[in-house]
Amino acid sequence: MVHLDLHLKEGKTSYVAIGLEGSANKLGVGIIRHFPGPFSTTNRAEVLSNIRDTYITPPGEGFLPRDTARHHRNWVVRLIKQSIIESGLKISEIDCICFTKGPGMGAPLQSVVIAARTLAQLWDLPLIGVNHCIGHIEMGREITGADNPVVLYVSGGNTQIIAYSEQRYRIFGETLDIAIGNCLDRFARTLKIPNEPSPGYNIEQLAKKGSKYIELPYTVKGMDMSMSGILAHIDNLAYDLFNNKKHNKTIFNDDGTPKVTVEDLCFSLQETLFAMLVEITERAMAHVGTQQVLIVGGVGCNERLQRMMETMVLDRRGFIFATDERFCIDNGIMIAHAGLLEYRMSGKGFDYSDTVCTQKFRTDEVLIKWRD
Amino acid sequence: MLSVKIPQFQQSLQIYYFENVENSTEIRTKLLSGQDSHNFAFVNPDVIFSKEQLLSACYRALLDYNSGKIRTRSIHSEIIFCLGSSGNIVDSLTRFGIKEDGNRLIILKVIEKEEDVEYTIDEIVKGDNKDLDDALLRENVDFKQMQKAYKFQPSLSNSAREDFKETDWSLLLRKTVDLIQLRGC
Amino acid sequence: MSDELIQLAQSHLQNIPLQVISQGAEAIVFTTKTHPYLPTSKDSHTEYIIKYRPPKKYRHPQLDATLTKHRTIAEARLLQRLTNIPEIQSPGLIALDARNGIIWMEKVGYELIDYDDKISSLKNWLWRYNDNQEKALTEEIKIALEKVGCMIGKAHVNDVIHGDLTSSNIIITEAQEACLIDFGLSYQSALPEDKGVDLYVLDRAILSTHPKYAEQYNEWLMAGYERGYGKDKKSLIKLKEVLKRYEEVRLRGRKRSMLG
């Protein structure tokens, strides 16, 4: 059992952290409270505030780093103020400022870390840099109660299969090229569907109306998967559909009428991509010997993915865990939570020289001191 | 006669081997005209060197037959097609099927489970009814025809039967079974 | 789950007595003493392996049927490819029912009388002496591991990537030769990266299953691996590339560095 309370401040009965997240187009601010002692069903973390604002681009456009950073700069003060008010806290009650150190997009990460550093200096509080993926994992574990699951982390920027071993979250499998969220988002752009509330959500709604399965490239290599091929393939199919390329017999009948709809394309894409994820997850479960699966990350909100994973997990007599959109989509509270865990172990913040953010930051680089 | 029951399927096989066959031409004509009396698989032994090769093809044919997926008209023609490694039906039927002037013949009859089949093999084939034996098959198999049929790498035509050791026959069998099982895949 | 799947397998293998020997995420492996098409004599002890890929309910049925069929065929094709590389020992293909995801193949290996009659996988073969340092590091072991390494080297020279090199997937035959089995994750690749990862998987597998002597075992394996490339100049250049990549993978700990 790891002792989590070596650094509880005198006179205080709990820990409080504020977390800032902005590695992609979601800007999140969250405030969390931990009570002393190990986490259990009776000792849960308390969410005091969890606010988010998403930078949404027009249909057919993706978000660029510079514009995203501008969005974050414009909103961060507002969100922090709102968050503090919502939590009802006094500044003196806060123990540390946590921020996403990486991985993610450079300029957006930067804009958030500057806000974090400012707060830290303003309020004379320690700064804790957090790995974005660890944030998702630890928040997922805490919210769902899954104690040692295989974690499927799927978002716009990441696709990894992770399992805990000897104080590290080890990556068992991952994408060999693009992330699954990225694949779905880019197809949404091809289809020029709205990015509100998120492109992936809109693909999911279209897929629900699709029924015809079109064969797409399926690329799983051991515990890894590749998605750029399937994206290129389906982009071509969409192009042929929109531009009436009647020679394409996958899309058009002999008489020139279309065989498939946009909904069918979305349906087929999801069925194929998600099957790949479930397959790798099953392999990891067998390899590690666990009965629990936890899905985290924005794509984890997808109901079809959850249903497919559930089918596989139940077939193996296992347990599936997933969070709702408050926690699976990028948010500040997960940064506060993971940051606070780190703070409780060290009792101090990072040196300013260590608070430089980084676009590449592997999940297994972090030493998980708060677990056995 | 060799009687074989393949465990998975309802059907059973009756297999004969004849030497000094006198009426190949007649058999072939009657076969091609679709006569009921000649509903058998007549196989050219020049390209058969092992019972296992033969049975491996029968297995494949019966598997496809029982799944409703045969490519030729009957289970018997399917067996001949399955002996080959090519997807070209006519090619395989020609290479593995009965030759006009052949004086050796392997005959297979597939019997459905509850079927009452009556025939007299000696009325159909005029020759010497012998035991189907691997040693005999090996002695007479034609390496050049085998190479044309299976296109082995390295070429079988460069080998001499006299130099063939047991391990060589084993390897040849393995290669042949591979080709038979993977045909069309 | 298991019983349902075994029943399903049995429905495609009527009258074939099946004994489960392993159940993975991908496939169930059975042994049987009944040959699919050769008459089996009552006192025959020869066993055959049946590998069954069951349907996956979570997949779209069309996708599932396609994947099952393609993967079964791919594995059988690999066995065929290995037949045509006589220096590499592998199980022979006996029968194929790709539509139902079934492969029949030769069972290789023998029963270790000094280890509960367990099959002579490299894992069991080495585990016999796990508690006896003297016996665990003999010349006999060295030679066998070098042979194993050599076989993997030959596979890589032929651009065959095993994909799941663990000590359970390597069999020591009665003649004390090495034989590779289980090609469910195998594929063709000339990339040094893929070969490096193949080796890394084995390195890790040896480390986790035989931690006491892993360092020495891996050393012997690599010595054999290098021998497997032969003396040809081109092959030696390839070997150098692979070894370089292998070191990189070992340092990185994973296949590729992360995407932001």
- Inter-chain contact C62–A364, Cβ cutoff 8 Å? no
Mark whether A184 and A287 lie in a shared domain: yes
Q: Measured at the alpha carbon of residue B119, what is the angle toward residues B116 and B123, in degrees to the nearest 5?
A: 180
What is the second-level CATH architecture of the domain C111-252? Orthogonal Bundle (1.10)
Identify the band that residue B5 occupies on the pLDDT scale cut at 50, 70 and 90: very high
Q: Which of A295, A362, A335, A278 is nearest to A150 (CA)?
A: A295
Per-residue pLDDT band for C253 (boundaries 50, 70, 90) equals low
Question: What is the ipTM score, two decimals?
Answer: 0.94
| Residue A2 counted as domain residue | no
* Chains C and B are touching, with contact defined as 3 or more CB–CB pairs separated by less than 8 Å: yes
Contact present, A216 and A268 (Cβ < 8 Å): yes
Q: Are residues A274 and A338 in the same domain?
A: no
Would you place residue C260 in the very low, low, confident or very high pLDDT band (cuts 50, 70, 90)? very low
Question: CB distance C37–B182 less than 8 Å?
Answer: no
What are the start-end ranges of the H helices in chain C?
2-12, 61-83, 122-127, 133-136, 139-157, 192-209, 214-228, 233-252
Q: How confident is the model at residue B158 (pLDDT cuts 50, 70, 90)?
A: confident
* Partner-chain contact C83 B58, CB within 8 Å: no
Contact A157 C1 (CB under 8 A): no
Q: Given an 8 Å threshold on Cβ–Cβ distance, is C83 in contact with B6?
A: no
Contact: B171, C86; criterion CB under 8 Å = yes
Residue A361 has pLDDT above 50, yes or no: yes
Considering the domain architecture, whether residues A105 and A221 belong to the same structural domain is answered as no
CB atoms within 10 A of CB A97: 29
Cβ pair C230, C156 in contact under 8 A:
no
Q: Are residues A305 and A174 in the same domain?
A: yes
Dump pLDDT digits (tens) for C159-204. 999 988 988 899 999 999 999 999 988 999 999 989 998 999 899 8
Neighbors of chain B by Cβ distance (3+ pairs < 8 Å): C
Q: Which CATH superfamily is C2-106 part of?
A: Phosphorylase Kinase; domain 1 (3.30.200.20)
Does residue A371 have a pLDDT over 90? Answer: yes
Please list every residue in chain C whose beta carbon sits closer than 8 Å to the beta carbon of residue A362: 254, 257-258
Sorting pLDDT into bands at 50, 70 and 90, what band is B86? Answer: very high
Count of domains forming chain B: 1
pLDDT digits (tens, 9 = 90+) for A92-124: 999 999 999 999 999 999 999 999 999 999 999
Per-residue pLDDT, C254: 58
Query: Which pair of tokens denotes residue B34?
Result: 């679709």
- The residue of chain C with its CA nearest to that of A318 is C1
Could you say which of B6, B153, B181 has the minimum Cβ distance to residue C96? B181
Asked whether residue A303 falls in the same domain as residue A354, the answer is no
Read off φ and ψ for residue A292, nearest 5 degrees: -115, 140
CATH of residue B87 = 3.30.2380.10
**Residue C207 in tokens:** 């480390």
Q: How many helices (H) and strands (E) does chain A have?
A: 10, 12
Question: Would you say residue B6 has pLDDT above 80?
Answer: yes
For residues A355 and A114, what is the distance between their CA atoms, to the nearest angstrom?
10
Pairing of the two strands A224-225 and C178-180? unpaired
List of chain C residues whose C-beta atoms are within 8 Å of the C-beta of residue B174: 83, 92-93
Pairing of strands A150-154, A159-165: antiparallel
- C222: its two tokens: 């690599």
Question: Which of C36, C77, C80 is opposite residue B59, by nearest beta carbon?
Answer: C36
Ranges for all domains in chain C classified under CATH 3.30.200.20: 2-106
Residues A249, A257 contacting (CB under 8 angstroms): no
What is the pLDDT averaged over residues A154-170?
Answer: 93
A112 and A179, same domain (yes or no): no
State which of A4-18, B71-85, C207-221 shows the largest mean pLDDT: B71-85
Alpha carbon distance B44, A208 (integer Å): 58
Q: Is C117 part of the annotated catalytic residue set?
A: no
Alpha helices in A193-329 (DSSP H): 199-208, 228-242, 262-288, 303-315, 325-328
Contacts of A215 in chain C (CB under 8 A): 62-63, 66
Q: Let me know if residue A346 belongs to a domain.
A: yes
Condensed to tens digits (0 to 9), the pLDDT of residues B31-58 reads 999 888 899 999 999 999 999 999 999 9
Return the DSSP state at A354: G
How many structural domains comprise chain A? 2
Q: Which two tokens stand for residue B29?
A: 């004509």
Tokens 């676009």 belong to which residue?
Answer: A359
Q: Cβ distance C249 to C255 under 8 Å? A: yes
In sequence order, what DSSP letters do the residues of C58-97 get, joined into one string? TS-HHHHHHHHHHHHHHHHHHHHHHHT-TTS--PPEEEEE
Distance to chain B for C39, nearest Cα, Å: 7
Chains that touch C (3 or more CB pairs under 8 A): A, B
Evaluate whether C71 touches C163 at the Cβ level (below 8 Å).
no
The position carrying tokens 């193996």 is A316
pLDDT over 90 percentage in chain B: 83
- A360 and C63 in contact by Cβ < 8 A? no
Query: Do A307 and A300 meet the contact criterion of CB atoms below 8 Å apart?
Result: no
Suggest the residue from C35, C37, C50, C71 to mutate for an interface test with chain B (most B CBs closer than 10 A): C37
Strand partners, A127: A97
Domain membership of residue A264 as a residue range: 148-230+260-325
Token digits of residue B31: 């076969």
Q: Which residues of A belong to the annotated binding site?
A: 132, 136, 153-157, 185, 200, 204, 302, 330
Task: Look up residue A137 and give its amino acid.
Answer: I
How many Å apart are CA A79 and CA A27, to the nearest integer? 9
Residue-wise over A54-91: b if at least 16 C-beta within 10 A, else e?
Answer: bbbbeeeeebebeebbebbbebbeebbeebbeebebee
Whether the predicted pLDDT of C34 surpasses 70: yes
Q: What is the model's pLDDT at position B159?
A: 87
Q: Would A306 be classed as within a structural domain? A: yes
> Taking CB atoms and an 8 Å cutoff, what residues of chain B touch C16?
7-8
| pLDDT higher than 50, residue C17 | yes
Domain extent for B139: 2-182
Q: Degrees (nearest 5) of the Cα angle B68, B72, B78?
A: 85
Asked if A76 and A170 sit in the same domain, the reply is no
Return the DSSP state at A112: H
User: What is the rounded CA–CA span in Å between residue A175 and residue C149?
Assistant: 29
Quickly state the pLDDT bin for C45 (edges 50, 70, 90): confident
| Chains C and A touch, using 3 or more CB pairs below 8 Å | yes
Residues in chain C, total? 260
CB count within 10 Å of CB B163 equals 7
Positions of CATH 1.10.510.10 in chain C:
111-252
Out of C38, C84, C93, the one facing B153 most closely (by C-beta) is: C84
Position C205 confidence tier, pLDDT thresholds 50, 70, 90: confident
Whether C25 contacts chain A with CB within 8 A? yes
What does the buried/exposed string (b/e) look like for C164-185 if buried means 16 or more CB atoms within 10 Å of the residue's CB?
bbbbbbbbbeeeeebbbbbbbb
In a domain, A196, yes or no: yes
Binding residues of A for substrate: 153-157, 185, 200, 204, 302
Tokens in use for B139? 């002695």
Q: What whole-number distance in Å separates Cα of residue A301 and Cα of residue B36?
A: 65
A173 touches chain C (CB under 8 A): no
Nearest to C101 by CA among C28, C163, C38: C28
Q: Which residues contact C38 (CB under 8 A, 6 or more apart)?
A: B51, B52, B55
pLDDT band at A233 (very low <50, low <70, confident <90, very high): very high
Element (H, E) at A336: helix A333-346
* A146 vs A336: CA distance, rounded Å: 19
Q: Which residue has the higher pLDDT, C138 or A306?
A: A306
Nearest CA in chain B to C86: B171
Is residue A204 domain-shared with residue A271, that is, in the same domain? yes
Judged against a pLDDT cut of 70, whether residue C1 lies above it is answered with no
Residues belonging to the binding site of A for a divalent metal cation are: 132, 136, 153, 330
Mutation site for C-interface testing, chosen from A362, A363, A365, A366 by largest number of C Cβ within 10 Å: A362
Q: Is residue A237 part of a domain?
A: no
- pLDDT of the residue at A122: 95
Distance separating alpha carbons of residues A184 and A189, to the nearest angstrom: 9
> What CATH number is given to the structural domain containing A286?
3.30.420.40
pLDDT tens by residue, C110-154 = 989 888 888 899 999 888 888 888 888 889 999 999 999 999 999
Chain A nearest CA to C62, separation (Å) = 7
